[in-house]
Amino acid sequence: MDIVFKRSWVEIDLNRLVLNYRSIVSKLEAGQQVMAVIKADAYGHGDVPAALALQAAGCGFFAVATLPEAVHLRNAGVHGELLVLGYTPAEYAGELVRYDITQALLNEEYASHLAAQGQPVKCHFALDTGMTRIGLDGSDAAACERVIRSVHEAGILRVAGVFTHLSSADMDDEASAEYTRAQMDRFRAVATRLEDLHLPYVHCLNSAGALRHNDGLGNIVRAGIILYGIEPDDSDPAQDGLLPVLSWKSVIAEIRNVREGTPVSYGRTFTAPKPMTLAVIPTGYADGYNRLLSNRGHVLIRGKRAPVVGRICMDQMMVDISGIPEAKVEDTVTLLGTDGGLSVTASDLARLSGTIGYETVCAISNRVPRSYTGKKN
Ligand SMILES: *Cc1c(COP(=O)(O)O)cnc(C)c1O
């Protein structure tokens, strides 16, 4: 374990990341491979350590959101396929080629701007089959085919794949399942029309799609959140054999006894209803602990729950440790993770703060140092 500054810090278990990867691989259909989605600093887990651990485990496909994220990984020794899923200004065509990075084509106009740079950029065409974000209009398969063939035949851009993105694969109501099937059918229609091009990469499944809707469509599965041991719908990851990779720890900086009627923190939103013992924790919303957890969140100390009292501050928060008389200054505090028999998951905090597990881990700021256990590369 690396030595970190123990004020507020994150511990990443790379062995668990690799176990999740293997578990996902074991459930794929024949001919499919995992593309590890490691955008946004691997959802807050650290892009380079995550990518190198997965690369060592045999993963050869990676996706990020931006060109700088991709270059960062290349420079750190990631040598597999690297796909940028979002917008890159066309003027960076030279960098895409120099670093051997594949760019998503957002639409026909974007493709022509990129091609106008005259660089042999590797590309995957995005299809909009119902997400209403980027991509060619997937409701018109013939038009998609025409555009993709014309860009392919122009011979400047190297069209190596087509992909789409599912909007509702994490929802289990029947209307959403039907919507997902319709998206996949639209995608299948375009992919079938292009079969003679033998595009090496055909992909439509995200984590939720891989877990719940994998009928063998496509040869790549873009897995993000499940690699990190978090369910896309914030359900229990154990149901799919997934292990949470990230724990977030802090310490007790100060303990104080307060009298009944004592107001706590900004705006006095909490007033002690009785004499209480509070602990001051040096983690706040600038560290990424959501301010909506004010008076709602809880942390773990000595295997017991301590509720957040009053507003979360920028750099600190207060918790009620009246029920944990054995707690001492400098005790480790678990914000996310397990302590004794109890656990707080990213999804737990997400539910309490009206968001999703994805945002909970992505929001942990870079003021919070990451330390790693397990094999790095
Ligand atoms: C972020 C993203 C993914 C990964 O989604 P998960 O739900 O984390 O698996 C896959 N594809 C695209 C296009 C994305 O933007």
Distance between CA atoms of residues 140 and 159, nearest Å: 20
Contact 228, 17 (CB under 8 A): yes
CA distances from 222 to 34, 63, 203, 246, 314 (A): 6, 8, 7, 20, 35
- pTM of this structure: 0.97
In the chain, what is the greatest distance between 2 CA atoms, to the nearest angstrom? 77
**Separation of 151 CA from ligand 1 center, angstroms?**
25
- What is the block-wise mean pLDDT of the chain (377 residues), using blocks of 10 residues? 88 98 98 98 98 98 98 98 98 98 98 98 98 98 98 98 98 97 98 98 98 98 98 96 98 98 98 98 98 98 98 98 98 98 98 98 98 79
Take residue 300 and report the two structure tokens written for it: 């773990």
Among 201, 206, 226, residue to substitute to test ligand 1 (most atoms within 8 Å of Cβ): 206
Take residue 273 and report the two structure tokens written for it: 């209803």
DSSP string covering 36-85: EE-HHHHHHT-HHHHHHHHHHTT--EEEESSHHHHHHHHHTT--SEEEE-
**Separation of 125 CA from ligand 1 center, angstroms?**
16
User: Checking DSSP bridges between strand 246-251 and strand 332-339, what pairing results, if any?
Assistant: antiparallel
Q: How many helices (H) does the chain have, and how many strands (E)? A: 11, 21
Verify whether ligand 1 is closer than 6 Å to residue 10 (CB atom).
no
Among 85, 129, 202, 227, residue to substitute to test ligand 1 (most atoms within 8 Å of Cβ): 85
Verify whether ligand 1 is closer than 6 Å to residue 135 (CB atom).
no
Annotated catalytic sites, by residue? 39, 266
Take residue 134 and report the two structure tokens written for it: 């980027």
Distance between CA atoms of residues 3 and 15, nearest Å: 18
Residue bearing the CA closest to ligand 1, atom 6 = 224
**Separation of 340 CA from ligand 1 center, angstroms?**
33
**Separation of 161 CA from ligand 1 center, angstroms?**
16
Contact 207, 232 (CB under 8 A): yes
CA angle 225, 228, 231 (to 5 degrees): 50
Ligand 1 atom at minimal distance to the Cα of residue 163: 13
Contact 225, 63 (CB under 8 A): no
Take residue 320 and report the two structure tokens written for it: 């009620």
Residues 6+ away with beta carbon under 8 Å from 86: 65, 66, 104, 134
Verify whether ligand 1 is closer than 6 Å to residue 37 (CB atom).
yes
Number of other CB atoms surrounding residue 187 within 10 Å:
27
- State whether residue 103 is helix, strand or coil: strand
Q: What is the pLDDT of residue 3?
A: 81
Amino acid (1-letter code) at residue 127: L
Number of other CB atoms surrounding residue 339 within 10 Å:
19
Residue bearing the CA closest to ligand 1, atom 14 = 85
Residues 6+ away with beta carbon under 8 Å from 338: 247, 300
Distance between CA atoms of residues 170 and 231, nearest Å: 9
Q: What is the pLDDT of residue 376?
A: 55
